[in-house]
C-alpha cells in the first residue's frame, strides 16, 4: 500500500542554518505530494505541493522537488528563522488508490536565535 516515511526528529538548528527534512514515499500510481506545517496550538497548513515528477513546490523560502527516480520529496530552506519552529508533515495523495491523504509521522523543527 501507499506510505510516507519522514526523518525522525526533533531537528534543532540555529537561526540562518540550512534545513533539510527528508521524505520518501511508496505509491502504486502517480501521486501528488505535499508538505504541511503545524505551528504550536494550530491546525495543519499547506506549505507547498507538487503534482508530477520534476515539479518543484516553493513557498516562504521552502522548496521541495518531486523526484520520481528516488521516490523522494525532501523539504529544504536555505536560512531558517525562529518563526519556522513547527512540526512539518510530508503527505501524498494517490487518486488511483481512492484513499484520502496519507501523512508521514511529522518532524519537529526547533530553531534558536
Question: In the complex, what is the shortest distance from the CB of residue 28 to another protein, in angstroms, rounded to a whole number?
Answer: 12
Q: Which of residues 45-104 bind another protein (CB under 8 A)?
A: 45-46, 49, 89, 93-101, 103-104
Applying CB under 8 A, which part among 18-26, 43-51, 62-70, 78-86 lies near another protein? Answer: 43-51
Closest to 107 in 3D by CA, of 47, 28, 58, 59: 47
CA distance 40 to 65: 26
The stretch among 9-17, 37-45, 60-68, 76-84 that binds another protein (CB under 8 A) is: 37-45
Strands 32-38 and 86-93: antiparallel
The total of other beta-carbon atoms located within 10 Å of residue 80's CB is 21
- Pick from 61, 105, 110, 112 the residue near another protein by CB under 8 A: 105
Distances (CA, A) of 102 to 15, 44, 93: 31, 14, 6
Name the site residues for another protein (rule: CB under 8 A): 32, 34, 36, 41-46, 49, 89, 93-101, 103-106
Amino acid at each position: 500500500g501507499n506510505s510516507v516515511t519522514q526523518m525522525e526528529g526533533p531537528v534543532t538548528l540555529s537561526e540562518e542554518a540550512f534545513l533539510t527534512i527528508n521524505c520518501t514515499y511508496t505509491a502504486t500510481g502517480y501521486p501528488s505530494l505535499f508538505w504541511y506545517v503545524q505551528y504550536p496550538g494550530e491546525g495543519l497548513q499547506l506549505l507547498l505541493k507538487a503534482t508530477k515528477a520534476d515539479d518543484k513546490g516553493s513557498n516562504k523560502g521552502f522548496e521541495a522537488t518531486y523526484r520520481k527516480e528516488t521516490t523522494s520529496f525532501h523539504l529544504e530552506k536555505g536560512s531558517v528563522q525562529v518563526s519556522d519552529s513547527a512540526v512539518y508533515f510530508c503527505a501524498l495523495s494517490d487518486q488511483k488508490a481512492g484513499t484520502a491523504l496519507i501523512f508521514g509521522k511529522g518532524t519537529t523543527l526547533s530553531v534558536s536565535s
